[in-house]
Amino acid sequence: MGKVTCDLAVSLDGYVTGLHQSLENPFGEGVGQRLHRWMWEEPEANAEAIEKITMAGAFIMGRNMFGPGRGDWDLDWTGWWGEEPPYHAPVFVLTHHPREMVTMKGGTTFTFVTDGVESAFAQAREAAGAADIAIAGGARTVNQYLAAGLIDELRLHTVPLVLGRGERLFAGLRDLEFEPVGDISGTAMVTHLTYRPVR
């Protein structure tokens, strides 16, 4: 059976997005692409880390990672990624608002799960088979899976900036212990760190 992984770009003070996400500000006001510039500006230097982000057989994400809405769905909205999202696998979106499955080019399907993190995990495990499952974000979703002890490998892509506010990794969590896995890598724009929870 595959691992459960998580990749997050994170500021030095632990934030993965800013406040007030909107269509114009997918990562929150004042953040722009600063947490992810390394992916676009240094793709060759960070090729191994980038490749691992989309290698899973199934993905789980929170609704705010799929889109900026909070209430009823805009059925014309199919995600931030255009007609062919980078996942090429089943994606399970945690939400309080039901919606029919959305099928995209390249093999990505979005299934909207209204009955909690355990249900999304079970569906992702069935879809992935022996392949890995990736908890794709955002911070609240990752924190729920960390609290449940369901993440095997946490890969943090740490960017040298301080946001000071937003959605924070580890918010509300206590008494978690991790051990480093593998070598530290990166560039001046990002440091790649991999951790395994100690259970």
How many alpha carbons lie under 13 Å from residue 87 in its C-beta half-sphere?
29
Q: How confident is the model over 11-41, as pLDDT tens digits?
A: 999 999 999 999 999 999 999 999 999 999 9
Q: Which CATH number fits domain 4-69+83-197: 3.30.70.890, 3.40.430.10, 1.10.1040.50, 2.40.50.100?
A: 3.40.430.10
CA distance 19 to 42: 26
Q: List beta partners, residue 168.
A: 15
Residue 121, burial from CB neighbour count under 10 angstroms (0-12, 13-18, 19+): buried
Mean pLDDT, range 106-114, rounded to an integer: 98
Beta bridge partners of 60: 92, 135
Q: Cα separation of 92 and 64, whole Å? A: 13
Contact 30, 181 (CB under 8 A): no
Ranges of each domain in the chain: 4-69+83-197
Give the pLDDT of residue 199. Answer: 86
pLDDT of 124 higher than 90: yes
pTM of the entire predicted model: 0.96
Model confidence pLDDT, tens digit, residues 133-180:
999 999 999 999 999 999 999 999 999 999 999 999 999 999 999 999
Dihedral sign, Cα of residue 29, residue 95, residue 197, residue 184: negative
Handedness of CA 92, 96, 98, 99 (dihedral sign): negative
